[in-house]
Amino acid sequence: MGVDVVRASARAGRVVLWEESPRDGAQAKTLMTPDFRVRLARTQGRVFGADGPRHVVFAAGFPAVCPQEFEAVRRVAVEAEGAVSVSAVCRGTAHDVRQALDSVRGTAHARIMVVVPASEAMAGVMTHGTAEQALAGGAALVARALDTDDTVAVDVCLADASRADPLLVGEHAARLTEAGAGVVVLADTVGDQLPEDAATMFTTVRRRAGDDVVLASHLHNDLGLALANTLQALRAGIRVHASSWLGIAERSGMVATEQLLFLLAYRPERTRELLGDARDAWWTAPDLTLLPDIARMVSAETGAPLGVTTPIVGDGVGTISTGTPFVHPRLFEPYDPRELLGIEPRVILTHLASGRVIRAVAARLGHHLDAEQTRAAATWVKSRAYERGQAVVDDADFADYLCAPAVPAARGAGAAR
Residues 230 and 338 in one domain: no
Q: Where are the beta strands (DSSP E) in 303-374?
A: 319-320, 346-347
**pLDDT tens figures, 392-409:** 999 999 999 999 865 554
Residue 235 maps to a domain: yes
**pLDDT value of position 318:** 87
**pLDDT value of position 154:** 98
Per DSSP, helices labelled H in 26-130 are: 34-46, 52-55, 67-79, 94-104, 120-126
Residues 112 and 204 in one domain: yes
**pLDDT value of position 230:** 97
**pLDDT value of position 323:** 73
**pLDDT value of position 326:** 74
Find the mean pLDDT for residues 282-309. Answer: 95
Q: What is the CATH number of the domain that holds 247?
A: 3.20.20.70
Domain end among 287, 303, 332 = 287
**pLDDT value of position 405:** 67
**pLDDT tens figures, 356-371:** 999 999 999 999 999 9
Residues 75 and 185 in one domain: yes
Q: Say if residues 86 and 104 touch (Cβ distance below 8 Å).
A: yes
Phi, psi values for residue 112, rounded to 5°: -130, 155
Residues 125 and 256 in one domain: yes
CA distances from 231 to 97, 128, 201, 227, 271 (A): 32, 34, 13, 6, 10
The number of residues in the chain equals 417
Find the mean pLDDT for residues 136-141. Answer: 93
Per DSSP, helices labelled H in 188-290 are: 195-209, 226-235, 257-265, 268-275
**pLDDT value of position 411:** 43
Q: Integer distance in angstroms from the first to the last C-alpha of the chain?
A: 70
Domain count, the chain: 2
Domain end among 287, 310, 326 = 287
pLDDT at 224 over 80: yes
Q: Say what the pTM is.
A: 0.91
Residues 56 and 162 in one domain: yes
Residues 153 and 22 in one domain: yes
Find the mean pLDDT for residues 217-232. Answer: 97
pLDDT at 222 over 90: yes
Instruction: Count other C-beta atoms under 10 Å from residue 186's C-beta.
Output: 30
Instruction: Provide the domain limits for residue 323.
Output: 318-417
**pLDDT value of position 319:** 87
Residue 298 maps to a domain: no
**% residues pLDDT > 70 (the chain):** 97
Residues 263 and 364 in one domain: no
Residue 248 maps to a domain: yes
Residue 311 maps to a domain: no
Residues 351 and 237 in one domain: no
Residue 344 maps to a domain: yes
Residues 279 and 377 in one domain: no
pLDDT at 417 over 70: no
Residue 220 maps to a domain: yes
**pLDDT value of position 409:** 46
**pLDDT tens figures, 15-46:** 999 999 999 999 999 999 999 999 999 999 99
Find the mean pLDDT for residues 136-151. Answer: 95
Residue 301 maps to a domain: no
Residue 305 maps to a domain: no
**% residues pLDDT > 90 (the chain):** 85
Residues 197 and 283 in one domain: yes
Find the mean pLDDT for residues 218-245. Answer: 97
Domain end among 265, 287, 309 = 287
Q: Provide long-range contacts, Cβ within 8 A and 24+ apart, for 133-136.
A: 134/92, 135/168, 135/169, 135/172, 135/175, 135/176, 136/172, 136/175
**pLDDT tens figures, 71-130:** 999 999 999 999 999 999 999 999 999 999 999 999 999 999 999 999 989 989 989 999
**pLDDT value of position 412:** 44
Residues 138 and 275 in one domain: yes
**pLDDT value of position 281:** 95
Residues 39 and 154 in one domain: yes
The chain-wide mean pLDDT, for the chain, equals: 93
pLDDT at 328 over 80: no
Find the mean pLDDT for residues 308-334. Answer: 83
